[in-house]
Structure 1
Amino acid sequence: MDLDGALPGKGGPTPEESLGARIREFRLTRRMSLRALATQAQTSPGFLSQLERGQVNASIGTLRKLAEGLGITLPDLFTDVDTSRPRVLRRAERPEIHASTLTSKYLLSQKPLRDLEVYAGEFLPGGDTGDPFTHGDSQEMLVVTAGTVILTLAGVEYPLDVGDSAEYRTSTPHAIRNTGEHPAAVLWIISPPTPDGAP
């Protein structure tokens, strides 16, 4: 042992320690307790604690359940992307989530998702998001950035003009449609990110 107490030849963190640190980072970002995440992943808080400290290995099945519980993908646990640095996303490089003749959706928040996820939606006249649906149980804010739309929340319709916004839980059935004569655009801001997809 060296004078500073470190083991000889000890370099950076081991792969197990790096993985554990990422799991812990995502868990704390989501404000989840060890017990809450362990329950979702069908494992014990003690095992999860050891995993976060890099003391044990987990099966791919357990890692997949942890990723689902955290609202991320399995590859997100292993990426070495430094999300602490500024990241610029050009309009032409936006990932398109869904496109139809009249509607386009784009992911603006870059993966791996951390504290929030942000989407841009563009609707030609008559465009919509389809039938009302839910995804997880997070806070969602809708901001109209161009045109007018009708937001449906739990069967109630809310006409929204440019500059208007609405907040609701993602567990509330919701949908948007453009009934105007001009294109419309919106932003969806969701926190924390939901595990089952875009708005």
Structure 2
Amino acid sequence: MDHQRLGQTVLNYRKKNGMTIREFADYSGISTSLISQIERGQGNPSLNVLELIAKSLNVPLFTLFINDIDTDSLISKKKDRKKIYRENNDHIVYDVLTPDFMKAHIELLMMDLNPHSSTIESHYLHIDKEEIAVVMKGKVYVELEGIEYFLEEGDVVRIPPNVKHKFLNKSSQTNNILFVLTPSLI
């Protein structure tokens, strides 16, 4: 655990909540001297103290450690990424750009949609995710709730939760589409 980063995070949250050290100490039940030591990176707080801090700041406990990141884990090398094939590998390939080890709240996928193919026979439907798709290369059709829309390079489509959709490549060229999926705000 990086005590300096933890301290800076606590300080930032406290200031964001507009509290002085004295106000925070009174509210949390933690001594001002311990809070000061923690914020300066000199304290070694127990789990109970960290739980009191998180509760008092109204944040989940893990957010106190969010800045304590191994920066090596932020890189995803192309040669190490896994591929996802849907139905069969003749039609499309998804390149997972944000692998599980990154613990991101966002999914980033690059899809190669082969000539004269579609992403799926029927359609996709995400119940708990919102999706943004950017046509990176080529021309593609997106079908939303049974209606087809033509998209070219650089065009973007937003797909809210519960919208039936699929992508179609009617050309003789491979299309490339970047997908960003996030948890739904609904």
Range class of TM-score, shorter chain: 0.5 to 0.7
Once the two structures are superposed, what CA deviation does each residue of 1:36-68 show, in whole Å capped at 9, x if it has no partner? xxxxxxxxxxxxx9xx559xxxxxxxxxxxxxx
Q: 2:116 aligns with which of 110, 126, 129?
A: 126
**Paired residue for 1:91?**
78
| 1:105 partnered with 2:94 | yes
Task: Tell me how far apart the structure 2 counterparts of residues 121 and 170 of structure 1 sit (CA, whole Å).
Answer: 20
User: Displacement, 1:179?
Assistant: 1.1
User: Displacement, 1:119?
Assistant: 0.9
Identity of matched residues, %: 19
Q: 2:141 aligns with which of 150, 163, 166?
A: 150
Please say which structure displays the higher CA radius of gyration.
Answer: 2
Q: Is the 8 A contact 1:97 1:105 kept in 2?
A: yes
Q: Is the 8 A contact 2:91 2:119 kept in 1?
A: no
Q: 1:5 to 1:82 in 2, by over 3 A?
A: closer
Q: Which moved more, 1:101-110 or 1:154-163?
A: 101-110
**Paired residue for 1:183?**
174
Task: Tell me how far apart the structure 2 counterparts of residues 53 and 124 of structure 1 sit (CA, whole Å).
Answer: 45
Q: Is the 8 A contact 1:105 1:119 kept in 2?
A: yes
What aligned pairs does 1:23-34 form with structure 2 within 5 A after superposition? none
Q: 1:193 to 1:83 in 2, by over 3 A?
A: farther
The aligned amino acid for 1:90 is: K
What is the DSSP-based 3-state SS (H/G/I as helix, E as strand, rest coil) of the residue aligned with 1:92?
Answer: helix
Q: 1:139 aligns with which of 119, 130, 145?
A: 130
Task: Tell me how far apart the structure 1 counterparts of residues 170 and 32 of structure 2 sit (CA, whole Å).
Answer: 73
User: Displacement, 1:177?
Assistant: 1.6
Q: 1:181 to 1:14 in 2, by over 3 A?
A: same
Q: Is the 8 A contact 2:128 2:184 kept in 1?
A: no
User: Displacement, 1:90?
Assistant: 2.0
**Paired residue for 1:78?**
none
Q: Which runs of 4+ in 1 moved over 6 A?
A: 83-86
The aligned amino acid for 2:140 is: V
| 1:160 partnered with 2:151 | yes
What is the DSSP-based 3-state SS (H/G/I as helix, E as strand, rest coil) of the residue aligned with 1:170?
Answer: coil
Q: 1:191 to 1:83 in 2, by over 3 A?
A: farther
TM-score by length of 1: 0.54
Q: Is the 8 A contact 1:139 1:169 kept in 2?
A: yes
User: Displacement, 1:127?
Assistant: 2.8
User: Displacement, 1:108?
Assistant: 1.2
The aligned amino acid for 2:107 is: E
Please provide the CA RMSD for this pair.
4.0
What is the DSSP-based 3-state SS (H/G/I as helix, E as strand, rest coil) of the residue aligned with 1:133?
Answer: coil
Q: 1:87 to 1:175 in 2, by over 3 A?
A: same
Greater percentage in strand: 2
Q: Structure 1 unaligned segments of length 5 or more: list them.
A: 25-48, 55-80, 195-199
